[in-house]
Amino acid sequence: MAVFMLNGIASAVPATLILFFVQDRLQAPASAEPLFLGSLWLKLVARIGLARTWAWGMGLSVAVFAFAAGLGTGDVAAFVAVCALSGLALGTDLALPAALLAGVIQSHGDQQQSEGAYFGWWAFASKLNAGPGLARLHARCHRCAGAANPHAGLLRAALCAQNRRAAVAPHPHHPKDPMKKRLLLSAAAASGLLLGGCASQNIDSYASGQPVLDLRAYFNGTLDAYGVFTDRSGTVVKRFTVLMQCHWNGDEGVLDEAFTYSDGSTSQRIWHLKQWPDGRYTGRADDVVGPAQGQTRGNAFHWSYTLALPVDGKTWEVQFDDWMYLMTDTVMLNKASMRKFGLYLGEVTLAFTRRR
């Protein structure tokens, strides 16, 4: 059991962190991710036996991941080789431990008597193995110091706040990529965490909300906004104000946002919005990956987008999920959650006031 747990940790840590390594260390494009997700079986049992085959698999894992520690930006081809070789080793971890356990049960004379207890403890041990991988993920925030972009400062604060708390909250929306979905679910289960059953909001539920939000009428002219960023515990880690200059030309609008942060730093984002005949809105900005998508119903506006944030010489793609609620003709409240790979990082809360 001890051997299985120690070896399982060696397998679970890279399995938990592989997508972070590919995107943040190698800076590989998203199209290259499937290259790193393969696995091959190592079939030497007939020649050298179960135990020796498993030992060879462990040795191969050690050698391969020791080599991977020296990889850096651009070493995509080398990491493909790492994944191919680690796939060979993974085959032994997937097939041989259970076969060895069956032999242990038989040698102790417990077949058809206590198999459930054996495999129950075996499964429990395997669930513990991903914990160190999650701990390593939390510790990564220590390398996020020194980012120049103030928005990256929000991300850095969120990551460091996560490092202080040994918990991971899942995204209420399941990731579209099946591999990322399995990664998040298995990592949470293996570390003994409870998966939250949070349901996402439905924009249609606000259809009767008053006063009715006309986005083009509200975001027109000069607005002031006051906001805070809170970590997962609700602690305020950053404050900021925003001066917005907005105008529309038909169904196309420009929202010029000037941010001033509590540490004295400043930044700017210029949104280019378009309203579509079906009531949807799309938007683009220099630091937004792809088009943002939004829709209004009643007094509410749902707005989702991905920001490209530079942190410590790397670019992190962080998902924002915005909900805005019109309170009066001049006041609107905004709550936006931040996530990366579905991991909840924190929340931005703003109050907009429209100058008359």
Q: Which of 314, 225, 294, 304 is nearest to 23 (CA)?
A: 314
Q: Which of the listed residues 129, 145, 180 is the one where a domain comes to its end?
A: 129
Domain-embedded: residue 111: yes
Residue entry with tokens 């906001």: 227
Question: Are residues 238 and 356 in contact, defined by beta-carbon separation less than 8 angstroms?
Answer: no
Q: Please report, for the domain that includes residue 313, its CATH number.
A: 2.40.128.20
Domain-embedded: residue 85: yes
Domain-embedded: residue 144: no
Domain-embedded: residue 162: no
98 in the same domain as 9: yes
Give the Cα separation of 4 and 207 in Å (integer): 55
82 in the same domain as 219: no
Angle 186-190-191 (CA atoms, 0-180°, nearest 5)? Answer: 125
Beta 266-275 vs 292-297: how paired, if at all? unpaired
Domain-embedded: residue 36: yes
**How many domains does the chain divide into?**
2
Domain-embedded: residue 46: yes
124 in the same domain as 221: no
Domain-embedded: residue 12: yes
Q: Print the domain residue range for 37.
A: 2-129
Q: Global pTM?
A: 0.53
Q: Which of the listed residues 65, 96, 129 is the one where a domain comes to its end?
A: 129
CA 128 to chain centre: 21
Domain-embedded: residue 347: yes
Return per-residue pLDDT of the chain as tens, 356 residues. Answer: 566 566 666 655 555 455 556 556 666 665 554 444 433 344 465 667 767 777 877 888 888 888 888 887 778 888 888 887 777 676 666 556 665 666 666 666 655 566 566 556 656 665 565 555 555 555 554 443 333 344 555 555 555 555 554 344 444 444 444 444 444 444 444 333 333 334 578 999 999 999 999 999 999 999 999 999 998 888 999 999 999 999 999 999 999 999 999 999 999 999 999 999 988 999 999 999 999 999 999 999 999 999 988 777 788 888 999 999 999 999 999 999 998 877 788 999 999 999 98
How many CA atoms lie less than 13 Å away from 213 in the CB half-sphere? Answer: 24
For 40, the token pair is 């091959």
Q: Which of the listed residues 76, 110, 129 is the one where a domain comes to its end?
A: 129
